[in-house]
Amino acid sequence: MMAARKTTHFRGVLLRNEPMADHTSWRVGGPARNFYKPADLSDLVEFLQAQPRSEQIEFVGLGSNLLVRDGGIRGTVICTSGVLSVLSLEGSGRVRAEAGVACNKVARFCARHGLVGAEFLAGIPGTMGGALAMNAGAFGGETWNVVESAETVDHSGHLHEHPSHDFKISYRHVVRPGNEWFTAAFLRLEHGDAAESEKRIKELLAQRNASQPTQTANAGSTFRNPPGDFAARLIEATGLKGHCIGGACVSEKHANFIVNMGNAKAADIEALIEHVQKTVLETHGVELVREVHIVGEPQ
């Protein structure tokens, strides 16, 4: 990995050939040709304005729910985690959370200010940008149920604000207007008991730690739950719990999680995903749909 350096025209930090294994929760992935960490939102806008329209752009937060192939990414990765990090109250019951803020931090912030309904965000192991992009959910809650509007930026660096009805929202899927990326969300919440909300968050985190392989490198739920069923139940019923390809294994703790046992390649994980899909389809006639976003080139 090359040392971080300031760019000539921008205030952020640009890395060349940066290993994406250092920026994904699976701890796998080849290099990004360019990896840019903007200084803030205005710096991000200026950086995008300088990029050619042909440049492939990928936004990454904490790198959960993301598989980068071993050949890496030929374009530019923009990392928002810890950068787009503003979290603020915007009037009664309204919270603005930038895309790089971790979801569990948003949950705690809302609880401290006596706003209820966002506790489930504590169970999402990613940032608000990723949660918005896939309508992430946990413990019966879904991101877009509490979103009033969202701010976005396009490839040309123009900022937009859209009400929630501008987006097509479904289970773990969001269709955005145009080629835009999320920069912030405005949440609308009810006033309630701060202590009860904080207690609920602790309970949800304890439940998550008890039922999920949180101590092993993973990317959260690998597949969406099919209508009226659970992906984990189908995978376990197929006998795939503990099944491994290379260093990638179906978790013994929760069958809808694929874990990196320490020496996995992205190719191992992708092959295991495909094997699980194929076997469940052959055994149960159910086609599992990935939650995980796969990008990059094979090695």
Q: Taking a C-beta distance cutoff of 8 angstroms, is the pair 22, 62 a contact?
A: no
Return the pLDDT at 4: 47
Crossing angle, helix 194-211 and helix 103-112, to 10 degrees? 150
Each residue of 39-76: pLDDT tens digit?
Answer: 999 999 999 999 999 999 999 999 999 999 999 999 99
The Cα-based distances of 270 to 72, 217, 273 in angstroms read: 14, 15, 5
Name the band, by pLDDT with cuts 50, 70 and 90, for residue 179: confident
Name the band, by pLDDT with cuts 50, 70 and 90, for residue 2: very low
What domains are defined for the chain?
A: 5-79 (3.30.43.10), 87-211 (3.30.465.10), 217-295 (3.90.78.10)
Question: Angle at the Cα of 44 (from 43 to 45), degrees rounded to 5?
Answer: 90
Q: List CB contacts of 180: < 8 A, sequence separation 6 or more.
A: 152, 153, 154, 160
Look at the chain and count its residues. Answer: 299
Active site residues: 172, 221, 291
Each residue of 196-245: pLDDT tens digit?
Answer: 999 999 999 999 999 999 999 999 999 999 999 999 999 999 999 999 99
CA 299 to CA 293: how far, in whole Å?
18
DSSP 8-state code for residue 273: H
Q: Decide: helix, strand or coil at residue 240.
A: coil
Each residue of 236-290: pLDDT tens digit?
Answer: 999 999 999 999 999 999 999 999 999 999 999 999 999 999 999 999 999 999 9
Name the band, by pLDDT with cuts 50, 70 and 90, for residue 1: very low
Q: Taking a C-beta distance cutoff of 8 angstroms, is the pair 193, 114 a contact?
A: yes
pLDDT value at 5 more than 80: no
CA 57 to CA 34: how far, in whole Å?
10
Task: State both tokens at 293.
Answer: 């976003």
Average of per-residue pLDDT values in the chain: 95
Return the pLDDT at 178: 79
Beta-sheet strands, E only, within 137-230: 137-138, 141-142, 147-154, 159-163, 168-170, 173-175, 180-188, 190-191, 217-218
